[in-house]
Structure 1
Amino acid sequence: MGDRQLFLGNLCTVTLETLRTYCEKYGTIIDLTLNRDKDNNIYHCFAFITFQSSCSITQFMSARPHLINDEEIFVKRALPRLTASIPERLVVTNRLLLSKSTNYDKESLRNYFNKLGSIKKFHYEKGLIDYKDYDDVDKILLTRPHYIEGKEIFVTKFIPNEQQDPEIVNQQPDRSLLKNEEKSLKIKYKYLEKQFEEYKQIKDKEINALRKELENIKEELSDITQVKLDRLIRNQQLFHRQLLLCLNPNSDLIHAQMCDDFLRSAPYKKRKTTTSLIDNQSQYLT
């Protein structure tokens, strides 16, 4: 899909028509899917929208915040399933994690990643970069792999509760709060993962239906092409017989071949008698 799809949240009061009308201001839409949790739509009213051009995504993100029905909607770039993990797709953060950052030159790292977004804080030894905008982190993940001085550097999002924050390593957090937060995140992850799977199944069915329709069209075109090709060959043969007959009008063999060609050239019509065909052919040649 590339960088042409967005995830939009906080849409519990927004209709599909209203959302489409609002988003069309930023470019041509090729797909829009609105999802709701009918039992509990507090957390799970979201949509995926795919634009025809990646420029529409850039314009949409640059125009934040977005208000529909006087309420701000949440928007982020949708990371592809094939190249991004589930936490990377779900977590929103402005913190980028660099693997083995000290294996690379500090200034080379800073200069490279500073070109990809506005850096607020750079932790060289910890391998962390804080950007001013979470969208910069998503853009960096979308453009993986990254190379510093010819060597690939692995980058990902800093995921809370999965990667320990070096800044709070010496603090003693409230264990009960951490457990509650972790439980809440797991519930959200599980539900959103289910939504992703349902969305994927819907799209797979649509793709399979389109493939089947394409195969039927191919077969129809093949049949039509074959019929036209056969007709063209028969007409060429008939023209050849007519030319020979003009050159040698007394040849009974050519007369017989032409009659046979006429009969085979119209398989779905009622065949005429040989005598009438010869008469018609004689009139045509004269």
Structure 2
Amino acid sequence: MGDRQLFIGNLCNVPIETLRTYCEKYGKITDLSLNRDKDNNIYHCFAFVTFQIPNCTTEFMSKRPHFINGEEIFVKRALPRLTASIPERLVVTNRLVLSNSTKYDKETLKRYFKKLGYIKKFNYEKGFIDYKDYDDVDRILLARPHYVQGKEIFVTKFIPTEESDTDTSNEQSDRLTFINEDENLKIKYKYLEKQFEEYKQAKEKEINNLRKELQHTKEELCDITQIKLDKLIKNQQLFHQQLLFHLNPNSDLIHTQMCEDFLRSTSNKKRKTTPTTSLIENEYEYLT
């Protein structure tokens, strides 16, 4: 989907048409899927909305916070499965992690990533960049690969672990939230996997329907072609009968047989020339 898809959470009390109407204010939507499946008595009310152009996604994110029916909804860019890991898609954080940051010039590194968002803190030795907005981190991941001084630099999100949580518990900039702030850690990987399978099945169904329509169209074209071919053959038979009758109007039976022999011979890629057919061709050229 590139940079055209959004993840929207906190939608348990929002009808799908209300969500569609709200999102369409920011541009044309090509796809909208709302998840309301119930498992273990917990509703995971989230949706994926795909806009036609990336500018609509950027405008939607720039207008945060969003409220529908008086309740704030949570929005983030949806990272694609092919280029982002599961933790990268789930975690929302302001911190970007740079791999082997000290291999690059410090000022060059800072200038490059400063162009991609407002930096609150830059730790060159540890390879951390804290942005003011978590959306900056998602945009940077969507724009991978990144090159500094002609060399690719690997970037990812800060993924919390037990050790990192202990080390950074006193730093507010290291605070992490998850996709749905009201539900916190309730959304597990299996729910996203289930959502993906449903989306995949829906697309496969659309593809199968298109294949059926294509096959139906091909059959219709074949029928039309056959009808036209039959008509052409009949016209050709009539023409030759009339030609033979014109050449020798007193021998209908003979000329009919000659016509049938002539038509059978034309079905071959390279028919043999006989005195009879040669005579017909010469007479035809003379008449025309």
Give your verdict on TM over 0.5: yes
Q: Distance in 1 between matches of 2:113 and 2:162?
A: 24
**Is 1:253 matched up with 2:252?**
no
Q: Distance in 2 between matches of 1:109 and 1:166?
A: 28
Q: Which residue identity is paired with 2:234?
A: L
Distance 1:259 1:84, change over 3 A: closer
Q: How many percent of aligned residue pairs carry the same amino acid?
A: 54
**Is 1:90 matched up with 2:90?**
yes
**Is 1:130 matched up with 2:114?**
no
Q: TM-score, normalised by structure 1?
A: 0.76
Q: Distance in 2 between matches of 1:236 and 1:163?
A: 83
Distance 1:28 1:124, change over 3 A: same
Q: Distance in 1 between matches of 2:210 and 2:69?
A: 41
Q: CA deviation at 1:97?
A: 0.3
Distance 1:212 1:36, change over 3 A: closer
Q: Distance in 2 between matches of 1:82 and 1:91?
A: 17
Q: CA deviation at 1:36?
A: 3.4
Distance 1:215 1:163, change over 3 A: farther
Q: Counterpart of 1:207?
A: 203
Q: Counterpart of 2:188?
A: 192
Q: Distance in 2 between matches of 1:211 and 1:49?
A: 20
Q: Counterpart of 2:42?
A: 40
Segments of 5+ residues of structure 1 without an aligned counterpart are 172-180, 261-286
Bigger relative contact order, structure 1 or 2 (CA pairs below 8 A, ≥6 apart):
2
Q: Distance in 2 between matches of 1:196 and 1:66?
A: 23
Q: Distance in 2 between matches of 1:62 and 1:167?
A: 32
Q: CA deviation at 1:32?
A: 1.7
Q: Which residue identity is paired with 1:227?
A: D
How many residues are aligned here?
244
Distance 1:236 1:122, change over 3 A: same
Q: Counterpart of 1:72?
A: 72
Map 1:21-32; keep pairs closer than 5 Å. 21-32=21-32
Whether the 8 Å CA contact 1:9–1:47 is kept in 2: the answer is: yes
Q: Counterpart of 1:276?
A: none
Q: Secondary structure at the match of 2:188?
A: helix
Whether the 8 Å CA contact 2:120–2:131 is kept in 1: the answer is: yes
Q: Distance in 1 between matches of 2:165 and 2:124?
A: 14
Q: Which residue identity is paired with 1:252?
A: T
Distance 1:118 1:56, change over 3 A: same
Segments of 5+ residues of structure 2 without an aligned counterpart are 171-176, 249-254, 265-288
Q: TM-score, normalised by structure 2?
A: 0.75
**Is 1:222 matched up with 2:218?**
yes
Q: Distance in 1 between matches of 2:34 and 2:138?
A: 22
Q: Secondary structure at the match of 1:164?
A: helix
Q: Distance in 2 between matches of 1:236 and 1:168?
A: 84
Map 1:137-216; keep pairs closer than 5 Å. 137-161=137-161, 164=164, 168=168, 191-216=187-212
